[in-house]
Chain A
Amino acid sequence: MSLKPLAMRDVLLERIWQAMAEDENIFFTTADFGSPVLDKIRSDFPNRFVNVGIAEQNLINVSAGLALEGYTVFAYAIAPFITMRCYEQIRVSLALLSEVRPMNINLIGVGAGYSYVVSGPTHQCYEDITLMRTLPNFKVLSPSDHVCSGEFFDLCINTKGPKYLRLDAQVLPIIYKNTLPNLDMGFHVHHNDGGVCLIATGYMLHTALAVAEKLRASGYLVGVIDLFNISNFDADKLQAEIEAYSGIVTLEEGFRGRGGVDAMFFEFISRRNLNTRMLNIGVEAAYHFELGSRVELHELVGIGPESVQQSVTLFIQQLSD
C-alpha cells in the first residue's frame, strides 16, 4: 500500500491496466479525457481502448454495445459530462436495459464536487449523486482517498450491472493507511465516540475528520463514518451505528435538499422508523462564479470546515436543549 497520496483515477486506472494484460475481456472507453496512466492503457492495449472523441452520448451507447457483447467496460470522462450530457443514454441503455440484459459497465467520472476548483460550475459537479442514485440498477461509489478508489476495481470486476464511480480530481490525503475499507459493508467507521455522528462521502470525509478533531478538543463527543457506497451498504449495520448517537450530520459536496445523501438518510430514517435527529450539510442550491481555493469556495456555500464546525456545534447544543 503506497504511503504517498496519489490521484484516485491513477490508482484505479493502474489496476485496470494491470488487469487488461491478463483479462482480454476488459474494454476501456473515454470521451477524450486522459491521465498519465491512461497513456499506458492506450499504448499497450490499442484494440481494447477507444476514444470516441468529445461525444459523451456516443461514449455511453458504444460502451453499452460492447457490454452487451460480453465485455467488461470502463468508460471514463469528466464527472458532469459523463452523467448529465448523456443522462438519457445512461437511463435507457444502461439502467433500463440491464433490467433484462446482463452487462458490466463502470462509469468513471472525475471531478466530484468542487475538485476542478478554478473551472467554475460547468466542470464542477453538485448534481450527480442525486441523478445517479435515482436510477434503478445503478451502484454509486464515492471514495474518499486513492486506496478506496483502487479497491473499487475488485468490486467493479466482480459485480455485474452498471456503476458510477465519483472520483475527486485532486490528490487527497490518505485515509486508509493501516486498514482497508470494508467494501461489503459499504461504509467505514472512523470514530464511534457517541454524541453526534458525522456521515460524509468523498472529499467531505476529510472535512468531517478535521471538524470532529476540533470538536473533540473542545470536549464534544463526535463519531465519523465514511459512506463510500451510497447505493448499496449494510443497512442493518449502519442502523446499529446510527442508533448509538443522539443525532447525525450528513456531509456531501453536492446540492443540499435536492435528493442527494441527505434525502437518502431521510428515507432511511423514515423507513426504519428511527428516532434520530439529523442535520444536513451540503451546497446551497445555486451556481456561483467566484474564484478562490477549494476551502474558500466551500466556506462560501456553507460546507467549509469553519461553516461545518459552527453548524455542528449549534446542532449539538440544540440536541442537549
Chain B
Amino acid sequence: MKNSSIDLRKKSHWVWRETLAIHRRAPETRIASSLSCVEIFVALYYGGILNYDSKQPLIESRDRCIISKGHGSICMYPILGDLGFYPLDELERVCETGGFLGGIPDPVIPGYETVNGSLGHGLGVATGMALALKRKGSDQSVFVVAGDGELHEGAYWEAIMFASHHELDNLHLIIDNNKISMLDYTDKIISHDSLATRFSAFGWDCFDVDGHDVEAVQETLLKMKKNRMAKPKVLIASTLKGHGVPGLENAALSHIINPKPELIDNLLEQNS
C-alpha cells in the first residue's frame, strides 16, 4: 500500500501530536527518542518507500522494516493504528491492562517484526533476513531504523562488516542521529564523529539528510531503495531528541526527563 499523494508534513505533525498525547496518558513511554524519528517513520510508511499490507503484516511480498530502537519508536503506535494494522482506539490504552501497546514495543504488535527493546539486535537479524531474501531470489528490501546510541553495541559492527562482505544492497540502515544517549551526548560518552567516514570505510554507501525534513527524507530513501550497487546503504538522519518540546529538545538528559502534563497540554493546544 502506498500513499504517495499524502501531505507528509501534515501527517508528521499529526503523528508528533499523537505521540505526545500518548505520553500524556502513559508517561512510562520514552518520549524524547520517539520524537526524533517521527519524519523517518512517516516517510517510510506514507512516502511510498515500504511495501506493506496492514491486514497481512507478515505477507511474503512486504518489505521488512526492523525497528531496532524499539523503545524510541512510540511514534509508530499512531502510524500503525492509522494505517489499519490495529484499531486506532488501541492508542487509548497504551501501557494499560488488556492492551498490547506497551512502554517498550513487543513483537506481538502487528507491524513489528522482531524484538527491539533491547538495543543492538536489529541490524544483525536484518542482515540474516536480507541474505535470505537474496537467496530466495526475492526483490524485497530490508529497512532498519536504529539510534546512534545503539552504535556503541559491538554486535552492530559485526553486522556492519557482514553486510558489506555479502554485498547486501537490499539492506538499508537509517540512523536516527539525535546524538544523545541516556545519560549524555553520545560524543561525550564514546564519540561518533565522522559517522559517514566510518561507514564508508566499512564498505557501505552513505547518505545524509535533515531528519526532520520529511520530504527530503522521502526523496533520499526513494533514491537509496532504487540504488542496488552491491553495497548496503546507510542514511544518517540528523535529528533532535525531544524535537519540538521546549526543555526537552536536544537536552542531554532528555531520555529520562518527563515533560510536565501541563506543558504537553499547552503544546497540543498551541499546535492543533
Contact = CB atoms under 8 A, between A and B. Distances in A.
Given A89-B124, A92-B121, A93-B114, A66 B132 contact: yes
A34 interface: no
B32 interface: no
Interface string A61-88: 1111111111100000000000000001
Contacts of B130: 65
B128 A97 contact: no
Of listed A57, A67, A100, residue having the most chain B CB within 10 A: A57
A48 interface: yes
A62 B131 contact: yes
A96 B114 CA distance: 10
> Looking at chain A's contact residues, is the secondary structure mostly helix, strand, loop, or mixed?
helix
A68 B125 contact: yes
B156 to A, nearest CB: 9
A57 B154 contact: yes
A70 B136 CA distance: 10
Interface range for A: 20 to 34
A55 B121 contact: no
Nearest to B138: A69
Nearest to B117: A92
A58 interface: yes
A58 B128 CA distance: 9
B124 A61 contact: yes
A97 B114 contact: yes
Contacts of A100: 107-108
A58 B124 contact: yes
A131 to B, nearest CB: 17
A220 to B, nearest CB: 51
Given A61-B124, A65-B129, A68-B128, A97 B162 contact: no
Contact of A55 (B118, B136, B158): B158
B155 A68 contact: no
B158 A58 contact: yes
Contact of A92 (B115, B127, B129, B131): B115
Contacts of B159: 58, 61-62
Interface of B: 107-108, 113-115, 118, 121, 123-133, 135-136, 154-155, 158-159, 161-162, 166
Q: List 8 A-B pairs, minimum CB-CB distance, nearest first.
A: A65-B128, A61-B124, A69-B132, A58-B158, A62-B128, A65-B129, A57-B155, A55-B158
Interface of A: 27, 47-48, 50, 52-53, 55, 57-58, 60-71, 88-89, 92-93, 96-97, 100-101
7 contacts: A47-B135, A65-B127, A65-B128, A69-B136, A88-B118, A93-B114, A97-B114
